[in-house]
Amino acid sequence: MHRTTGNHGIKAAGGTVLTVLLLAFSLLLCPPGALAAPAGEESVSLPRSGIPYPGGFDQNTVGEIRGNVTRITIPASGPVQIQILSGRDPYTVIASPSWYWKDIGVEVTEGTELRVRGSKALGADGNLYMIAQEIRLLKTGRSLVLRDESGRPFWTGSRFGSSGSQTGFGSPLRGPGGSMGSPGGAGRGRR
């Protein structure tokens, strides 16, 4: 058995400490926001539910719910959350960032009947959640499309379709007849 003597361990630890101190010092010199990820790229766990947002969309759990809005929360930052009673089951629909919701200008109030397509999840708090892909206002037939077929949020990229207008594929708003399996409307691109 060969034993190493000397202060090699101390040298390595000292080098590691020096590296950490230099990294910390360089971070202090960076302008605020220089290291921030672009909007919508980094997922965070939502408080109480533990649902990753804006990630967390799982194509294996996509389904639809239909019900009446019991409450809508539009926070200063973070996602719009809509409470819906679907049959006997209460769901919290996680929509889009509040800035995107406001830009689109959709009016959803208590009592509005919605059909929501999205990824269902059971939160760490034991409540049912749906990460919305599309929200349809049943009274008007208007649809708000928040994510593409793979679940990628539209607010992380261009809202303009391949035609260069806001009415092509990728448009967040559609008129009556346009999706969720119904015929007509601008839509989901080629299949």
The pLDDT tens digits of the residues spanning 129-153 come to 999 999 999 999 999 999 999 999 9
Whether residue 177 is predicted with pLDDT greater than 60 in this model: the reply is: no
Which pair of tokens denotes residue 92? 């919290």
∠ Cα 83 85 90 (to 5°): 70
Nearest to 145 by CA among 184, 183, 171: 171
pLDDT bucket at 84, cuts 50 / 70 / 90: very high
pLDDT exceeding 90 applies to what percent of the chain? 53
Contact criterion met (CB below 8 Å) for 99 and 54: no
Whether residue 72 is predicted with pLDDT greater than 90 in this model: the reply is: yes
Whether residue 95 is predicted with pLDDT greater than 90 in this model: the reply is: yes
pLDDT for residue 173: 55
Q: Is the peptide bond before 54 cis (omega within 30 degrees of 0)?
A: yes
Whole-prediction pTM: 0.64
Average pLDDT, the chain: 74
CATH number belonging to the domain at 44-174, selected among 3.40.109.10, 2.70.98.60, 2.40.50.140, 1.10.3720.10: 2.40.50.140
Contact criterion met (CB below 8 Å) for 70 and 110: yes
Contact criterion met (CB below 8 Å) for 108 and 67: no
